[in-house]
Chains A and B, each alone.
Chain A
Amino acid sequence: MGSEFVQLSLTPILIGVLASIACALPGNFLILRRQALIGDAISHVVLPGIVVAFLITGTVASVPMMLGAAGAAIIAVILIEAIKRLGRIEPGAAMGVVFTSMFAGGVLLLEQSDTSNVHLDVEHALMGNLESLIWFAAEDWSSLVDPAALAALPAELPRIAVVCALVAVLTYLFWRPLKISTFDEGFARSMGIPTTFISIGLVIAAAVAAVAAFDAVGSIIVIAMFICPPAAARLMTNQLEVQLVWSVVFAVLSAVLGYVFAGYGPLWFGGENAVSAAGMIATVSGIILGLACLFGPQRKRIGEAAGL
């Protein structure tokens, strides 16, 4: 493990890990609030916004991408309301229609536009471009302290690192009101906690994490990381504080194992080519959830005789 690892694998693994953590942290609260599919929804809805932002600006820089994604999210909310009211359709169906149509629209738009010089096409929207985020400037481990090499890091890495840190700091800062209002919203409001602000803030944080992660790792990982690590973590413990730690552990494990299995797994079984890292990371997170369902210490809690 030397120069080749640093050059080819270090940055993709780090980006995968940071993206997974950034999605898993808000995922804990979204699941407890029964809003788990919001992450799924966001990652679908933002695609046309990102494509339009690219078509207008011609770059894949963070700010236009985020603005495009935010615009798409606002349009989605308006469309959902309109369909609900005009069509008298139940909210779940209205959301389902809007999310899939907007994603499909984004795919069509992508196909028709010339994005050959950037990492933006249908395949990347789904699976990201993790394997191609190579650190060309790196020689070996000493590059980690070489300013010139560090300056040439793939732009996705600092971007997702900032978002991951932001999500972590916000989670820490608003931990207590988040926990209280997730458990008992009425009580939280009676104490003067601004619950609307908290729930909108949570969704915005999740959206920012989703868009930043989407750019690097694609929507498959985003969807998987919002749900699988927190859901598996819930089966390990009965304390939210501990659950959060488990969810981060599972997110890191999924990203690292997924990347390694994708790169080397096929070789172990006699295959010749590596498989998609994003697909493998999402698969590993699903397997971890499956194992937690089978062996997690708190898996039996529902339906247990109470207080006897």
Chain B
Amino acid sequence: MTGRAVEVAAQDGRILQQPPADDSPLAVRGLTVSYGDKPAIFSVDAVVPPESMMAIVGPNGAGKSTLLKAVLGIVEPLSGTVSVYGEPLAKVQERVAYVPQRASVDWDFPTRVIDVVLMGLYRELGLLGWVTGRQRKTAKACLERVGMAEFANRQIGQLSGGQQQRVFLARALAQDADLYLLDEPFAGVDAATEKAIIDVLKSLKADMKTVVCVHHDLATVSDYFDHVLLINVRKIAEGPVATTFTAENLQRTYGGRLATTHIDELRLPAG
């Protein structure tokens, strides 16, 4: 980031904790997206440190999913830049894997679990490449990692919500990326699935990958993540969970919509 940008940010009352490293897994600057007249996200700056697990937290309608979609080029931002490992996304697309919200697709679609995972290998397969035994093996191994190997030949509509979420994660694993962006991976899943997913995400981090999740359960932020980005259309705060996920920042993010008792239950360090 240029000195001028830091100056402007300082005038705006924002403090940039660290100048973004050029090769960060993900750095967004001044990202603004609007559906119609109202901005969904406004001038968001954020830097995801390497090998971190970051939660994006904020109230409904805060633009959490929109932020991910803008980063991935699924929605067109009005302004701002996105860099992935220091490059524009188009150059490093194969280093990024995406897990959309489970409810965003029609699970009655006529396809099997293994076929969904094989979609993650599209870049490798191309338009007309035949699926080889090796690729089938890769897909099976990814299903194994999320505990879904025995469901490979099931139609996806026959799965429970938690199982569907695991299949989506397996598809992202098949992409063999370095940066994983997940939209509410824990929404509406059973306890066993939640455990299975967090285990996989932690193993990704152990493999030097970077994980970013839109997350809605405040109670588990401290257990699951090491970094947090608090947004409500604008960015409120970002940084390590220990210093950023504070009662004060949460109040600012939720604009008083969060009951004090709820925040007390989180047993956060005094902000």
B98 interface neighbour in A190, A234, A240, Cβ under 8 Å: A190
How many A-B contacts if CB must be within 8 Å? 91
Residues in B neighbouring A87, C-beta threshold 8 A? none
Q: Is B111 touching A183 in the complex (CB atoms < 8 A)?
A: yes
In the assembled complex, B39 has its CB within 8 A of some CB on chain A: no
The 3 closest A-B pairs by CB, nearest first: A238-B155, A190-B98, A307-B160
CB neighbors of B among A5-43 (8 A): 32
List residues of A whose CB falls within 8 A of some B CB. 32, 173-174, 176-177, 179-180, 182-184, 186-187, 189-193, 234, 237-240, 243, 301-302, 304, 306-308
Q: How far is the CA of A277 from the CA of B122 in the complex (A)?
A: 44
Q: Is B119 touching A238 in the complex (CB atoms < 8 A)?
A: no
Q: How far is the CA of A239 from the CA of B155 in the complex (A)?
A: 8
B159 interface neighbour in A182, A189, A306, Cβ under 8 Å: A306
**A179-B111, A180-B119, A184-B119 given; 13 more Cβ-contact pairs under 8 Å:** A176-B122, A183-B105, A184-B105, A186-B72, A190-B73, A190-B98, A191-B122, A234-B110, A239-B112, A239-B155, A301-B155, A302-B108, A306-B159
Q: How far is the CA of A183 from the CA of B110 in the complex (A)?
A: 9
A191 interface neighbour in B93, B109, B154, B158, Cβ under 8 Å: B93
One of B123-131, B133-141, B246-254 contacting the partner: B123-131
Nearest chain A CB to B93 CB, angstrom units: 5
B125 interface neighbour in A176, A234, A302, A307, Cβ under 8 Å: A176
Q: How far is the CA of A245 from the CA of B151 in the complex (A)?
A: 25
Summarize B's interface: helix, strand, loop or mixed: mixed
Q: Is A186 touching B100 in the complex (CB atoms < 8 A)?
A: yes
Known: A238-B155, A306-B160. A183 touches B127 (CB 8 A): no
A239 interface neighbour in B73, B110, B160, Cβ under 8 Å: B110
Nearest chain B CB to A303 CB, angstrom units: 10
| Contact bitstring B154-188, A, C-beta under 8 A = 1, else 0 | 11011111010000000100010000000000000
Q: How far is the CA of A16 from the CA of B84 in the complex (A)?
A: 53
Known: A32-B109, A186-B69, A191-B93. A174 touches B123 (CB 8 A): no
Residue of B69, B74, B112 with most partner-chain A CB within 10 A: B74
Q: Is A304 touching B110 in the complex (CB atoms < 8 A)?
A: no
Q: How far is the CA of A181 from the CA of B249 in the complex (A)?
A: 39
Nearest chain A CB to B251 CB, angstrom units: 32
Find the B residue at minimum CB distance from A195. B74
Q: How far is the CA of A202 from the CA of B23 in the complex (A)?
A: 39
Residues in A neighbouring B73, C-beta threshold 8 A? 189-190
Q: Is B105 touching A301 in the complex (CB atoms < 8 A)?
A: no
Q: How far is the CA of A239 from the CA of B96 in the complex (A)?
A: 28
Name 10 A/B residue pairs within 8 A (Cβ), A-sorted: A176-B128, A179-B111, A184-B104, A186-B72, A186-B98, A191-B93, A238-B110, A238-B155, A306-B157, A306-B159
Q: Is A237 touching B122 in the complex (CB atoms < 8 A)?
A: no
Q: Is B110 touching A243 in the complex (CB atoms < 8 A)?
A: yes
Residues in A neighbouring B160, C-beta threshold 8 A? 306-308
| Contact bitstring B80-102, A, C-beta under 8 A = 1, else 0 | 00000000001001001010100
Q: Is A304 touching B158 in the complex (CB atoms < 8 A)?
A: yes
Q: Is B122 touching A190 in the complex (CB atoms < 8 A)?
A: no
Q: Is B122 touching A193 in the complex (CB atoms < 8 A)?
A: yes
Q: How far is the CA of A192 from the CA of B123 in the complex (A)?
A: 9
Q: Is B100 touching A192 in the complex (CB atoms < 8 A)?
A: no
Q: How far is the CA of A173 from the CA of B69 in the complex (A)?
A: 28
Q: How far is the CA of A288 from the CA of B158 in the complex (A)?
A: 26
Q: Is B127 touching A177 in the complex (CB atoms < 8 A)?
A: yes
Q: Is B157 touching A301 in the complex (CB atoms < 8 A)?
A: yes
Nearest chain B CB to A195 CB, angstrom units: 9
Q: Is A301 touching B125 in the complex (CB atoms < 8 A)?
A: no
Residues in B neighbouring A243, C-beta threshold 8 A? 110
Q: Is B98 touching A187 in the complex (CB atoms < 8 A)?
A: yes
B127 interface neighbour in A176, A191, A234, Cβ under 8 Å: A176
